[in-house]
A and B are shown apart, each in its own frame.
Chain A
Amino acid sequence: MLRVLGRRIATGILTLFLVTLFVFLLIHLSPGTPLAAAMESEGLTQVTPQIRAELERLYHLDRPLHVQYALWLRGLAQGDLGRSFHDRRPVAEKIRERLGISVAINGLALLCMVLLAVPLGALSAWRPGSWLDRYSSWITYAAYAIPVFWAALMLQIVFAVRLGWLPLAGLDSDGWESMGMVQRTADRLWHLILPVACLSLGGLAYLSRFVRATLLENTAAETALAARARGLSSLAVMLRHGFRQAAVPMLTLAGLLLPAVVSGSVIVENIFAIPGLGRLFVDAAFQRDLPVLMALTLLSGAATLLGILAADLTYAIVDPRIRRG
């Protein structure tokens, strides 16, 4: 078990470095120096050679490539991710002030997905082929194909513009600072309803279809058939035999959905004007802000690898066959 885990972590770390190396090489080997590209995106095309040289020295851009990458790695080991090309602030600081909100949104979306997908999938698996099953199958199938940003736009139009029930965008109302603790939390959650709903839509559809398939498979198994023969109702069989078998793959899948959720949160944060890491990433992409891009690529990769690792771990803990394998 430990050896398997160790190998997983080792390949995970290797993967991470390969990707940062890839991004790094891409930016340095493509025509035009990275600093010039970044400055151009800010409209700074007329810079004296002295200032340019000074800036290049500041960002170590005058050193050979392998030295630059090694310097980046050394900084990383010391918790220093470099400074943004854009506003010269430390990248770690920029990430820290935005990390909380992104983690909250992604976490809430994952939670919603699991909490809603399980009953939804169970309902359709309970009476396969019934009208309930057929309609929910169609709806989840369609929901899976809905682009996140379009869902966001339509929900904004219906719930914010037409009905006025929910805020259009942003994180908190005017006068948030003067509110009490309870009010503040309520206001935050009120603002997060639409973003989280959009973000969980696709995964919810996928997961509930998966729950249905797994439950059907397990309730058709021989043990379940025997339980039916003993006189248990179909609902009881599903709850006892189906869920126990299905719980683990569901958790695993939720972990594997993390990359898709992170991709979605980039879009959702942009639409709903939420100052999270997704916004930062898109801004950095526009500004060709290499240090920020590198750090966020590393971070998102680490997050998804941790998700996969956690999924593997739960699998191994619950299923003894895997532990020995």
Chain B
Amino acid sequence: MADRGKIPSSLRAGAVLLLVLAALALGAPLLATDLPWIARDADGLSFPAFSAMLTATSGTLPDGAESPILAAPIPHGPNRVDLRSTLVPPMSGHWLGTDDLGRDLAARVVHGARVSLGVGFLSAAFALLVGVPLGAWAGYRRGWADFVVSRAVETVLSFPTLLLVLAILAVASGWLARLSDVTRLALVLGLTGWMPIARYLRAEFLKLRESDMVSAARAVGGSDLRIAWRHILPSAMAPVLVTAAFAVGAAIGMEAALSFLGLGVRPPHATWGVLLADSREQIDRAWWLALFPGVALFGAVLACNLVGEGLRDLLDPRSGRR
């Protein structure tokens, strides 16, 4: 089935890029913070940034910290306003420059990765949670189950996704108000993104349910649930994984678009979409505000697409190499 000889270069490149971004996202509280990594205070050395992360307190500089010895690579918090250094260009005290309130762009981009990747992966998880059972059910049962699921898939797929998401966010605000921004977006994106997963899984199930493997399992008395779960699903997961990788990328792009329009994650929370929206006010003064968050966003989407494409080549050599 799978050609396990060689890992496609697209998969390797995408995976490396994604891992770097994930490391930035996870390490953001440590990488971009006002607090020094090592400082000397009254009773010897202390590690303010590390202890702040462990106790999950936000980074305000404690008065006790006398002299910092080693600062963080990006020695600024994401929401630290500094009106003495506004709109500073890149590479002059701030790696990627500052915005109109003097907030450090590098710190904001790194912290934005947390939201973007969080929404991306969480929404793909939601999509799998809905799409896998529905697709399996439709493909295994056929008949009216298949009819219902297929119609639902077609219905949602035939609409411009952005419009549907905007409408749901606007219309169901009463229900969604209690959720955090990340969960709310991931939920809505997952609920509008499960169709490709269901569709591919359904096709695999339709094919595999006629296979000898399944007849054999049925002959020895396996129940439907057991056959579907233990025998068909493992063989049918390849296209699902590929679709899920693309779904992560699509969700990251969609989150940024929604935040950009003002209906996603709300400021002052730094996310790539919010940063890009803010950059519009400074468009004739500060090009860096538009460039760097966009590069990060583009990199994340590209990484997911590369992983998806690479997985497809790896798991199904026939469909690739065209």
> Which residues of A line the B interface, CB within 8 A?
11, 15, 18-19, 23, 26-27, 30-32, 37, 141-142, 144-150, 153-154, 156-157, 161, 168, 213, 216-217, 259-260, 262-264, 266-267, 270-271, 281-282, 284-286, 288, 290, 293, 296-297, 300-301, 304-305, 308
Contact = CB atoms under 8 A, between A and B. Distances in A.
B276 interface: yes
B295 to A, nearest CB: 9
B260 A267 contact: yes
B298 A304 contact: no
Interface of B: 151, 154-155, 158-164, 166-175, 249, 253, 256-257, 260-263, 276, 279-280, 283-284, 287, 290-291, 294, 297-298, 301-302, 305, 322
A69 to B, nearest CB: 14
Contacts of B164: 19, 297
A263 B162 contact: yes
A150 B166 contact: no
A262 B158 CA distance: 11
Contact of B161 (A30, A168, A259): A259
B261 A18 contact: no
A27 B171 contact: yes
A148 B160 CA distance: 15
Given A19-B155, A217-B322, A286-B170, 7 more contacts: A30-B175, A31-B175, A145-B301, A147-B294, A149-B257, A157-B283, A266-B162
Given A37-B173, A150-B294, A293-B171, A267 B162 contact: yes
A4 B302 CA distance: 39
Contacts of B322: 213, 216-217
A146 B257 CA distance: 12
A147 B302 CA distance: 10
7 contacts: A27-B171, A30-B172, A145-B305, A147-B297, A149-B257, A149-B276, A288-B171
Contact of A259 (B159, B256, B290): B159
Q: Which of A26, A263, A266 has the most CB of B within 10 A?
A: A263
Contacts of A213: 322
Nearest to A261: B160
B276 A308 contact: no
A27 B151 CA distance: 23
B290 A157 contact: yes
A141 B249 CA distance: 14
Given A145-B302, A293-B171, A304 B158 contact: yes
Nearest to B163: A300
B74 to A, nearest CB: 22
A222 B71 CA distance: 67
A293 B170 contact: yes
B280 A263 contact: no
A262 B160 contact: yes
B161 A263 contact: yes
B154 A300 contact: no
Given A30-B172, A149-B276, A150-B297, A281 B263 contact: no
B263 to A, nearest CB: 6
Contacts of A297: 159, 163-164, 167
A8 B298 CA distance: 38
Given A145-B301, A157-B283, A288 B276 contact: no
A147 B160 contact: no
Contacts of A161: 283-284, 287
Contact of B290 (A148, A154, A305): A154
A144 B173 CA distance: 32
Nearest to A214: B322
B301 A147 contact: yes
Contacts of A216: 322
A147 B162 contact: no
A115 to B, nearest CB: 23
A226 to B, nearest CB: 22
Contacts of A168: 283
B130 to A, nearest CB: 15
Contact of B167 (A156, A263, A293): A293
B163 A262 contact: yes
Contacts of A282: 166, 261, 263
Contact of B261 (A15, A156, A270, A293): A270
A32 B164 CA distance: 21
A307 to B, nearest CB: 9
Contacts of A288: 170-171, 173
A153 B256 CA distance: 14
A260 B160 CA distance: 6
Contacts of B167: 23, 285, 293, 297
Contacts of A31: 174-175
A18 B155 CA distance: 8
Nearest to B280: A153
Nearest to B155: A15
